[in-house]
Structure 1
Amino acid sequence: MADGSSGRSAMKQSITGYHQDEEGYWVAQLACGHNQHVRHQPPWVNRPWVVTAEGRQGMLGFRLNCVKCEEGAPPDDRPPAGTPG
């Protein structure tokens, strides 16, 4: 497919919080119980909102595609959601 999907409908899940991984990258915690890295690595990945507390706070509730939901994966282990900053 032109959008790079497998043809299945995307499973969109809301961002409920964030934490940082052991390398300092931001990880979005999704309503479904899965985690998803949200990196800003231009020119390949442009998410400038990730680099500021205000940007992350503003994206709470935004819905991301969750591949783990599509695969039927169990919820991820994760620390409690920290403050958005």
Structure 2
Amino acid sequence: MQQAIVGFHLDAEGHFVADLACGHTQHVRHDPPWQNRPWVLTEQGRNETLGMKLECKKCEDK
């Protein structure tokens, strides 16, 4: 199920985590070649992705 990104925070290891509209969270690492998310590296990039939808696996598992 797709959920909108409503914010971001850092985990204990300094990795960015997206806060989703459903209340769940999802890591959004830029870790090429597995995940290509250069937008997560800048505040501007993160702000521009607010509202973007990600698959929430926790919602799908309900």
Band of TM-score, shorter chain: over 0.9
> Paired residues, what number?
62
SS at 1:29 equivalent: strand
Structure showing greater radius of gyration is 1
Moved over 2 A (4+): none
SS at 1:54 equivalent: helix
* Bigger fraction of residues in helix: 2
TM-score, scaled to structure 2: 0.98
Identity of aligned residues (%): 61
Structure 1: segments with no counterpart, 5+ residues: 1-10, 73-85
Structure 2: segments with no counterpart, 5+ residues: none
RMSD value over aligned CA atoms? 0.4
* Bigger fraction of residues in strand: 2
